[in-house]
Amino acid sequence: MALYAIGDTHLSLSSDKPMDVFGGGWTGYVEKLREGLSVLEPGDTVVLCGDLSWGMSLEEARRDFAFLSSFPGRKLLLKGNHDYWWTTAAKMDRFFQENGFSSFQLLHNNSHLYGDIALCGTRGWFYEEERGGHSAKIFNRELIRLEVSLKAAGEREKYCFLHYPPLYQGYRCQEILDLLHRYGVTRCFYGHLHGGSHRLAAVGEQDGIQFRLVSADYLRFQPEKICD
């Protein structure tokens, strides 16, 4: 039994959306993912940190879900900024059940357990220059969702999974970082950064929290093993 994380699989098996805009490392990435995810075994858990499929609807993303579902283990799904197929939890759960994707669970306004460790998270948001209007509403909603997830974990040790990085070179999302500290998060995993942006990533301990970038291309399409 092991816990893994990987984000930004950017699958497009129904539309074949090219990924070369992110650099040459994406050439043949589906086969690279197939090989990387082959390490999963029954009893494992993998947290998928958003941007899973380019599908514009659940139906368009069906082949991408089938690909991910074909690997053993429990998959916890987190929303990314390109997951346009994401809809209500009830609709997604029903779609997964109807299509036999029984290994999928949503990490959304909740937490899940891996042994005694609580797995918490939400998409997050970049909240930089614009301090009002639509951006502020989205950001505040993400803060609420993150706190709901962290509260659901109770007094257990907490690992947090986000799509957007809360911290990288030249940027701090202080509101999210404050929540991580307030609820005693010990490790934080995030995605979203690709190609040349990898050099901006916060990796390692910062103020008592271990941060790790788990974008698929950063990990060379092999899920990050967090613990046994």
Q: What is the pLDDT of residue 16?
A: 74
> How far from the centroid of its chain's Cα atoms is residue 71's Cα?
17
Position 132 pLDDT exceeds 70: no
Q: Rounded CA gap, 26 and 65, in Å?
A: 19
69 or 128: which carries more pLDDT confidence?
69
Q: Cα dihedral sign for 33, 46, 79, 122?
A: negative
CATH 2.40.30.10 fits 3-227, yes or no: no
Residue with the bigger pLDDT between 47 and 125: it is: 47
Q: Where residue 134 falls among pLDDT bands split at 50, 70, 90?
A: low
Instruction: Please check the confidence at residue 129 and state whether its pLDDT lies above 50.
Output: no
Secondary structure letter of residue 187 according to DSSP: E
pTM over 0.85: yes
Q: How far is CA 152 from CA 22, 47, 149, 163, in A?
A: 36, 17, 5, 19
| Residue 136, pLDDT score | 84
Give me the residue spans of the domains in the chain: 3-227
pLDDT of residue 19: 79
- Per-residue pLDDT of 62-101, as tens digits, reads 999 999 999 999 999 999 999 999 999 999 999 999 999 9
Q: What is the pLDDT of residue 26?
A: 87
